[in-house]
Amino acid sequence: MSEIHELLELAVRIAKDAGALLSARPEHLSIDTKSSDIDIVTQMDRASEKLIFESILAARPDDGIIGEEGANRPSSSGYTWVIDPIDGTVNYFYNMAGWSVSIAVKDQKGTAVGVVYSPTTSSLFTATRGGGSYLNGRKLKCNDPIELDRALIATGFAYSKELREKQIAQFNDLILKIRDYRRNGSAAIDICHVAAGIVDGYYEMGLKEWDRAAAELIAEEAGAKVTVHGELTIAAGAHLHGILSGHLLG
C-alpha cells in the first residue's frame, strides 16, 4: 500500500473516531467566542481537536498539524495535517444535522488526502490526489455544464459584519438569476455537495484553510473547479464556475 493510501486510511479512522466522540453530545455545552460574538467554540470542538491531534501524533509523530482551535506544530516529515474538528459548530450547538469533521493532509505538491465525515447524515467523503473522490465508496462527478438559471447554489455567511454586507449584495444579485439557494451550515459539506452533484455550485466569504482544504480536493477530484479570491471561495463545474466568477468578481 502506498503512503498516500495509508494516510487516507488513517484520516478516515481518525475522522470516524472524532465523529463518534461528537455524536455522544453532552446535554449542556459551554461556549466561548472567537472572532466575534457569533463565532462560537464549544468544549466539544476542543475535545475533538485533542482526539485528532493525539491520534495523528501517535501514528505519525514527525508530521505537522494545522488546527482551527490552535493545535499547531511544524512538520519534519514533509506532511502536514489540516484539521477542522467541527465544521458547522453552530449546527452542532443547536443539535442540527449537517456538521462535519474535516481532515486533509498536505505535502510539497499540495493537498494529497481529503476526508470529510458527517455522522448525522452517514456521509463519508474521501479523495486522494489523482485517485478520484468518493461518497461512501461511490465515485463522484460534479454537475457540468449547468447554466446559471438552472443552478442550485449553496452558500454560507461569514461572522464578520463587513463581509456579511458584501454577501448581502452578492445574494441579492444572484437570487433572481438562479434556481434557488441552499444553506447547510458546514462549508466543507457544501463543497463536497458540489462534488457529489447535490448542488451545482457554492460560494462563501471568510473561509479559512481548515474549512476548505479537504473538501477542495474532493471537489476537484470530482471534476469541479475551486478557486480562492482573497476572502471569496467559489466551487462549481467549469462552465458554471466561469459564470459565477463573473457575477461575484465583476
Structural domain boundaries in the chain: 3-138, 148-249
More confident site: 33 or 48: 48
Quote the mean pLDDT of the chain: 94
Global confidence as pTM? 0.94
Bridge partners of 201, per DSSP, are: 153, 236
CATH of domain 148-249: 3.40.190.80
Instruction: Locate the DSSP E strands across the chain.
Output: 31-33, 40-42, 64-67, 80-87, 100-107, 110-118, 123-128, 133-135, 138-139, 152-155, 180-182, 201-205, 225-229, 232-236
C-alpha cell recorded at residue 172: 441579492
pLDDT at 71: 72
What value does the mean pLDDT take over residues 81-95?
94
How much of the chain exceeds pLDDT 70, in percent?
96
Span of 62-66, 95-99, 156-160 with lowest mean pLDDT = 156-160
DSSP state of 73: B
Distance CA 156, CA 185 (A): 7
pLDDT at 160: 85
C-alpha cell recorded at residue 1: 500500500
CATH of domain 3-138: 3.30.540.10
Helix (H), strand (E) at residue 1: none
Say if residues 231 and 211 touch (Cβ distance below 8 Å).
no
pLDDT at 81: 98
pLDDT at 26: 83
CA 239 to chain centre: 22
Residue 98 has pLDDT above 70, yes or no: yes
pLDDT at 250: 80
Q: What is the pLDDT of residues 30-39, one digit of tens each?
A: 767 655 555 5
C-alpha cell recorded at residue 21: 466522540
Distance CA 226, CA 237 (A): 9
First to last CA, the chain: 47
Domains 3-138 and 148-249 share a fold: no
pLDDT at 179: 98
Distance CA 249, CA 110 (A): 25
* Pairing of the two strands 40-42 and 138-139: unpaired
Q: pLDDT grade, residue 165 (50/70/90)?
A: very high
Say if residues 184 and 97 touch (Cβ distance below 8 Å).
no
Q: pLDDT grade, residue 136 (50/70/90)?
A: very high
Distance CA 154, CA 98 (A): 13
Q: What is the pLDDT of residues 185-220, one digit of tens each?
A: 999 999 999 999 999 999 999 999 999 999 999 999
Say if residues 220 and 192 touch (Cβ distance below 8 Å).
no
